Amino acid sequence: MGKNTVPCVLNNDLKTQIMKAKILVVGAGGIGCEILKNLSLSGFQDIEIIDLDTIDVSNLNRQFLFRKEHVGKSKAVVARESILTFNSTINVKAYHDSIFNPEYGVNFFKQFSLILNALDNRAARNHVNRMCLAADIPLIESGTAGYSGQVELIKKGVTQCYECQPKSQQRSFPGCTIRNTPSEPVHCIVWAKHLFNQLFGEEDPDQEVSPDTEDPELKKDGTFTETESGNVKRTSTRQWAQEIKYDPEKLFNKFFQDDIKYLLSMENLWKTRKPPVPISWEKSIKQVDGSSDKEIANSVDMQIWSLSKCSQVFADTVSILKEELGTIAGNIIPAIATANALIAGLVVLYAFRVLQDEFQKCPAIYLRQKSVYSRVILATDNDLQKANPNCYVCSSKPLVNVFVNVNNMTVNEFENEILKNTLNMVAPDVILDGKGVVVISSEAGETEVNNNKKLSELGIIDGSILKADDFLQSYELTININHYEAKEKDDPLFKFIANPAELKAKQDGVENGTAVKMDDDSKKESSNENEDDDDNDLVFVDNDFPQASSSKRRKLNPSVEDDDLILLEELVD
Binding-site positions for Zn(2+): 161, 164, 391, 394
Contact partner at residue 29 from Zn ion, ligand ATP, none, CB < 5 to 8 Å by partner kind:
ligand ATP
Residue type, 304: I
For residue 411, the minimal CB distance to ligand ATP (Å) is 26
User: Sheet of 365-367: strands edge to edge?
Assistant: 91-95, 46-50, 22-26, 114-117, 139-145, 148-154, 365-367, 378-380
Contact (Cβ atoms closer than 8 angstroms) between residue 413 and residue 422: no
d(CA 335, CA 534): 15
- Judged by beta carbon, residue 116 or residue 164, the one nearer ligand ATP is 116
In the set 37, 75, 361, 483, which binds ligand ATP (CB under 6 A)? 75
Residue 518 CA: distances (Å) to CA of 252, 455, 483, 492, 524: 38, 21, 13, 8, 10
Give the binding range for ligand ATP (CB under 6 A) out of 83-91, 115-123, 499-507, 558-566: 115-123
Binding status of residue 384 toward Zn ion by CB under 5 A: no
What value does the CA radius of gyration of the chain take, rounded to a whole number of Å?
27
For residue 387, the minimal CB distance to Zn ion (Å) is 5
Contact (Cβ atoms closer than 8 angstroms) between residue 159 and residue 546: no
Contact (Cβ atoms closer than 8 angstroms) between residue 379 and residue 555: yes
- Judged by beta carbon, residue 48 or residue 120, the one nearer ligand ATP is 120
**What is the helix (H) or strand (E) element at residue 556, kind and residue range?**
helix 550-556
**What is the helix (H) or strand (E) element at residue 22, kind and residue range?**
strand 22-26
Site string for Zn ion, 164-183 (x = CB under 5 A): x-------------------
Binding status of residue 48 toward ligand ATP by CB under 6 A: no
In the set 47, 99, 346, 349, which binds ligand ATP (CB under 6 A)? 99
DSSP annotation of 534 reads T
Which residue sits closest to Zn ion, CB atoms considered? 391
The site for Zn ion, by CB under 5 A, has a size of 5
Binding status of residue 394 toward Zn ion by CB under 5 A: yes
176 annotated active-site: yes
Contact partner at residue 18 from ligand ATP, Zn ion, none, CB < 5 to 8 Å by partner kind:
none
In the set 2, 71, 98, 230, which binds ligand ATP (CB under 6 A)? 98
In the set 30, 201, 363, 398, which binds ligand ATP (CB under 6 A)? 30
d(CA 289, CA 493): 43
d(CA 179, CA 192): 10
Strand 139-145, strand 46-50: pairing: unpaired
Catalytic-role residue among 33, 132, 176, 362: 176
Site string for Zn ion, 103-142 (x = CB under 5 A): ----------------------------------------
Nearest-CA neighbor of 458 among 439, 436, 474, 478? 439
Residues between 282 and 341 with contacts to ligand ATP, criterion CB under 6 A? 330-331, 335
In the set 132, 153, 161, 548, which binds Zn ion (CB under 5 A)? 161
- Judged by beta carbon, residue 165 or residue 456, the one nearer Zn ion is 165
Binding residue numbers for ATP: 27-32, 51, 59-62, 75, 98-99, 120-125
Binding residue numbers: 27-32, 51, 59-62, 75, 98-99, 120-125, 161, 164, 391, 394
Binding status of residue 201 toward ligand ATP by CB under 6 A: no
DSSP one-letter string for 457-474: GGT--TT-EEEEEETTTT
Residues between 334 and 373 with contacts to ligand ATP, criterion CB under 6 A? 335
Contact partner at residue 544 from ligand ATP, Zn ion, none, CB < 5 to 8 Å by partner kind:
none
Binding status of residue 24 toward Zn ion by CB under 5 A: no
Contact partner at residue 120 from ligand ATP, Zn ion, none, CB < 5 to 8 Å by partner kind:
ligand ATP
d(CA 447, CA 438): 8
- Judged by beta carbon, residue 29 or residue 43, the one nearer ligand ATP is 29
Residues between 116 and 175 with contacts to ligand ATP, criterion CB under 6 A? 119-121, 124
DSSP one-letter string for 213-239: TT-GGGGSSS-PPP-TTTT-----HHH
Which residue sits closest to ligand ATP, CB atoms considered? 29
3-state secondary structure of 43: coil
Say if residue 224 is exposed, middle or buried (CB neighbours under 10 Å; 0-12, 13-18, 19+). middle
Contact partner at residue 355 from Zn ion, ligand ATP, none, CB < 5 to 8 Å by partner kind:
none
Give the binding range for ligand ATP (CB under 6 A) out of 4-12, 29-37, 212-220, 390-398: 29-37
DSSP annotation of 4 reads T
Residue 402: strand pairing partners: 481, 496
Say if residue 433 is exposed, middle or buried (CB neighbours under 10 Å; 0-12, 13-18, 19+). middle
Residues between 492 and 551 with contacts to ligand ATP, criterion CB under 6 A? 535, 537
- Judged by beta carbon, residue 53 or residue 203, the one nearer ligand ATP is 53
Contact partner at residue 30 from ligand ATP, Zn ion, none, CB < 5 to 8 Å by partner kind:
ligand ATP
Give the binding range for ligand ATP (CB under 6 A) out of 49-57, 199-207, 389-397, 561-569: 49-57
Contact partner at residue 430 from Zn ion, ligand ATP, none, CB < 5 to 8 Å by partner kind:
none
Residue 527 CA: distances (Å) to CA of 41, 399, 410, 524, 570: 44, 19, 16, 7, 42
> How many Cβ atoms from other residues are within 10 Å of residue 17's Cβ?
19
Nearest-CA neighbor of 117 among 101, 134, 130? 130
Residue type, 209: V
Just list the catalytic residues. 176
Binding residues for ligand ATP, rule: CB under 6 A, are 26-30, 32, 50-53, 58-59, 75, 98-100, 119-121, 124, 330-331, 335, 535, 537
Binding residues for Zn ion, rule: CB under 5 A, are 161, 164, 391, 393-394
